[in-house]
Amino acid sequence: MSDSIVHSSHWGAFHARRGGDGLDITPHPGDRAPSKILQNMRHALDHPARVLRPSVRESWLRHGPGPRARPIGDPFVEVGWDTVADLLAGEVRRVRDAHGPRGVYGGSYGWASAGRFHHAQSQIHRFLNTVFGGYVSGLSSYSAGAASPLLPRLIGSFSELSRNTVSWKQIAAHTELIISFGGMPLRNSAIGNGGVSDHVEHGSMSEMAARGGVFHLVSPIRDDLPEDIDVVWHPIRPGTDTALILAMAYVLQDEGLEDPAFLETYCVGYERFREYLSSDADEGPKTPTWAERITGIPADEIARLARDLARKRSLITVAHAVQRAEYGEQPVWAAMALAAMVGQIGLPGRGFIYALGSFAHTGRQKVAVPIPVLPQGKNLCDACIPVAAISDMLLNPGKPHSFMGIPQNYPDIRLLWWAGGNPFHHHQDLYRLSRAIGRVDTFVVQEQVWTASAKSADIVLPISFSLERSDFGATRNDPRLFAMQQLCSPKGEARSDYDALSAVTAALGPREHASFTEGRSAEDWLRHLFEPTRAALDALGEDAPDFDEFWQRGWIDLPCRPDSVGFLEDFRKDPTGQPLGTPSGKIEIFSQEIAAYGYDDAPGLPVWRPHQRGPTADYPFVLIANAPAARLHSQLDFGETSAATKVAGREKLRINPADAAKLGLKNGEIARLENDRGACLAGVEMSDLVRPGVVQLQTGAWFDPQPDPDRTAPVFCVHGNANVLTYDKGTSQLTHGCTGQIGRVAIRKWTGRAPPLRAFDPPPLTSSPSTEPRHD
Ligand SMILES: Nc1nc2c(c(=O)[nH]1)N[C@H]1C(S)=C(S)[C@@H](COP(=O)(O)OP(=O)(O)OC[C@H]3O[C@@H](n4cnc5c(=O)[nH]c(N)nc54)[C@H](O)[C@@H]3O)O[C@H]1N2
Ligand SMILES: Nc1nc2c(c(=O)[nH]1)N[C@H]1C(S)=C(S)[C@@H](COP(=O)(O)OP(=O)(O)OC[C@H]3O[C@@H](n4cnc5c(=O)[nH]c(N)nc54)[C@H](O)[C@@H]3O)O[C@H]1N2
Ligand SMILES: [Mo]
């Protein structure tokens, strides 16, 4: 271990060393626009929120596995690794014998850390496959719950489309006009899953602007595109993009601005879409005047936007956020259809791109060699749910449900095992989630820190931070492979997920242990997993150092594939020889397959469906619960950068000054947000960048439930976790994606006492058990 080490994270590569006050963190020298989120790590290693020893809920120790309320704030008993490994081995055997893999949910959604070997989800999947022969899995993601299953039916592979088609390079060089639904906020492209060594987004946008390129931002919030770039802001009412897009399509067909040759050669179903636009269905013809009433965007502005789209070298971008809402499929599908109408799909920097700018790992060249990954083994259990159906599944065992037309029944989950995610950050309607978790027999969480999820668990395993172990940092769209060198030993009794799970397999028996570890230590695994990358580099005649040299250097450059519009370019050049992966091989403006499922909330073509949970007289404000600027989700919310953004010690509520004045709210005051799901407090910041009628409360404030002094809400978070207010209702019957982006609330000034924060306090801990641990 040297004094200064090279390391990587989802929010950037960096150098770290122990300084006088916490860690000194300096960004990787190649990064043109490093993220301030790096500084959240300064005091993380020694923070009081860390889980230091294996801990077991006192009531679980006393009564054993079984359904029960699992309140946050209940006491835990710290035990040794041997004891906890025996307890877990006993619970694995019990559930395996009585229920098999259908009794364990291993979806374990979450971002965990950037390292590829100590990737928590891979580790836990490998473990569950080894010891149970499989587990009930979670499909899709909270990011793109509607879009990721939908897009392969309409245009092609979700990850190929979002990662390897339109690139920032192309945009800088070619694009004249971007219409961005939901924006491309720099705060979001600060993050790349697996790491990012150079942030190129701002530079590329500036190049396009310098060439005279024009940005149209369709979003309720202005800084969804950088404030120093001139943009035309269309402050749309949230949840109404589909109406705007349909009206633009109406203008194109009405004025004969479509590209008939493109539609004929490359698409199916345009005729039906065109008929729909003028038909009496769903509120009648989709004219700009119709859309103005719904969206708040003037009709002539809509018509002009449509004409510009057709006449310029144009690109439509759709952020994840726009589909993380009721009927989330519709704006994505409609935007793709609109882009198809103007015939530019497959040309450099033009056409349609999904999720560009929602992350740093989009819009870049693909690495030409494999990056290290841990094999997860085989999951022999076919039961699965869309990830965002977790509460639904736990509360309704046996109930029929379906996903993309495939019917199943929810399994009866007895054991819930999480590593690398924080459901009390990511899931909607936290009150419902806590009831759902009360139904299982045992909830296991592997965590670095006492998150609300850890405090809701029965058994918590203390996990090392990435700085306390060695790993690889890499993603398929970043041109560097990093050695994530170890800075120091794990705090307390923390272990890596690998070592933690190895201890459990050892307690289960030599067969399980051997098949999980394959006889390798963590370091043996790193050497083993590096080899395919080295061999591929060598075969290409590239710089291919051996493991020890790579480790000592800290990083190596990886060759990338040439920039191109990927499969869309191939398809454009040769539509019959290189068809799309869709059922028809073409772009599906109408999908026969989806139509055949017969869902009214997601029929066979893009349609207008108004949100069921829009604002009402009781809850007049639209809540935007979006990605946080100062951290990744809930990770390191106690860190320096995140803490500096809190207002009155709580999560910040951004509100338009006119709305604030009506409510008698001023900067720095505390507001109470409430609806029929729950209530929370937040600190007020007035901002003209937020559209009137909309308020913004970013996600990720650690859940801090305390008794509601007003006694009106079933759950009251004093810190400002937006998910006490969001609805746990899937996007549609088709995809059941997460709808957490948009909610509705009533707001008033909080005049009561400001309750102290307990979010970052560990639960009450005793180290000597009040009863003997059970060994069964
Ligand atoms: N209302 C609303 N809700 C949302 C969203 C929204 O827009 N609105 N967005 C959704 C989206 S897109 C996402 S992706 C989710 C994100 O939800 P999550 O991915 O669950 O959020 P994170 O805070 O990243 O949780 C990761 C957890 O893993 C822990 N961790 C880090 N490294 C390790 C490790 O090595 N091992 C182990 N065992 N643990 C580790 C961290 O401490 C942290 O608690 O949230 C979703 N929730
Ligand atoms: N700093 C930081 N970066 C992150 C993350 C993080 O936690 N922190 N999380 C990462 C992850 S996992 C993901 S999935 C992505 C999230 O990527 P996105 O989901 O794209 O990001 P959000 O910030 O949630 O939302 C983007 C913007 O969409 C706008 N919006 C909301 N509703 C509507 C609507 O109905 N119509 C229109 N036109 N606009 C709307 C909001 O103003 C919001 O600011 O970010 C990634 N990047
Ligand atoms: Mo996400």
Asked whether residue 773 is domain-assigned, the answer is no
- Threshold 0.85, pTM exceeds: yes
pLDDT at 203: 97
Decide whether any atom of ligand 1 lies within 6 Å of the 446 Cβ.
yes
pLDDT at 444: 99
Integer Cα distance of 581 and 603 in angstroms: 20
How many angstroms separate the alpha carbon of residue 545 from the centre of ligand 3? Answer: 34
Instruction: Tell whether 774 is covered by a domain.
Output: no
Residue 214 belongs to a domain:
yes
Q: How far apart are CA 758 and CA 703, in angstroms?
A: 9
One domain, residues 277 and 164: yes
- Whether residue 37 lies inside any domain: the answer is yes
pLDDT of 771: 45
Whether 469 and 413 share a structural domain: yes
Nearest CA to ligand 1 atom 44: 422
Return d(Cα 348, Cα 313) in angstroms, integer: 9
Residues 167 and 242 in one domain: yes
Q: For residues 573 and 628, state if they share a domain.
A: no
Same domain, 404 and 499: yes
Inside any domain, residue 551:
no
Together in a domain, 190 and 327: yes
Query: What CATH number corresponds to the domain at position 299?
Result: 3.40.228.10
Give the span between the Cα atoms of 547 and 234, in whole angstroms: 52
Q: Which domain holds residue 10?
A: 5-41
Say how many domains are in the chain: 4
CATH number of the domain enclosing 73 = 3.40.50.740
pLDDT tens digits, one per residue of 118-142: 999 999 999 999 999 999 999 999 9
Structure tokens at 311: 């006449």
Say if residue 206 is in the same domain as residue 324: yes
Proximal ligand: closest to the CA of 121? 1
User: What are the angstrom distances between the C-alpha of 330 and each of 273, 286, 439, 691?
Assistant: 13, 14, 34, 23
Q: Which pLDDT does position 3 carry in this prediction?
A: 84
What pLDDT score does 768 carry? 58
Q: Is 632 in the pocket of ligand 2 (CB under 6 A)?
A: yes
| CB of 238 shorter than 6 A to ligand 2 | yes
pLDDT of the residue at 772: 46
- Pairing label, strands 442-447, 23-27: unpaired
- Using the mean position of ligand 2's atoms as its centre, give its distance from the Cα of residue 541 in Å: 41
- H/E stretch holding 333 reads helix 329-341
* Share above pLDDT 70 across residues of the chain, in percent, rounded to a whole number: 99
| Any domain includes 153 | yes
Residues of the chain with pLDDT under 70: 1-2, 768-776
Residue 42 Cα to ligand 3 middle (Å)? 24
Q: Evaluate whether residue 605 is within a structural domain.
A: no
CA of 183 to the centre of ligand 3 (A): 15
Q: Which ligand is nearest to the CA of 722?
A: 1
C-alpha span between 146 and 329 (Å, rounded): 5
Same domain membership, residue 743 and residue 635: yes
Which residues are marked as active site? Answer: 109, 111
Q: Which of 740, 746, 748, 750 is nearest to 624 (CA)?
A: 740
Ligand 1 touching residue 447 (CB < 6 A): yes
Contacts 24+ apart (CB under 8 A), 660-669: 660/684, 660/686, 663/747, 663/748, 663/749, 664/749, 665/747, 665/749, 669/749, 669/750
- Does residue 234 share a domain with residue 329? yes
What's the pLDDT at 1? 44
Residue 318 shares a structural domain with residue 403: no
Task: Let me know whether 165 and 298 are in one domain.
Answer: yes
Evaluate whether 351 touches 166 at the Cβ level (below 8 Å): yes
Residue 471 near residue 115, CB atoms below 8 Å: yes
State whether 63 and 94 are in the same domain: yes
Residue 775 pLDDT: 41
Instruction: State whether the beta carbon of 294 lies less than 6 angstroms from ligand 2.
Output: no
Beta-bridged to residue 745, according to DSSP, are: 621
The answer to whether residue 432 sits within a structural domain is yes
CB-CB contact of 266 with 572 (8 Å): yes
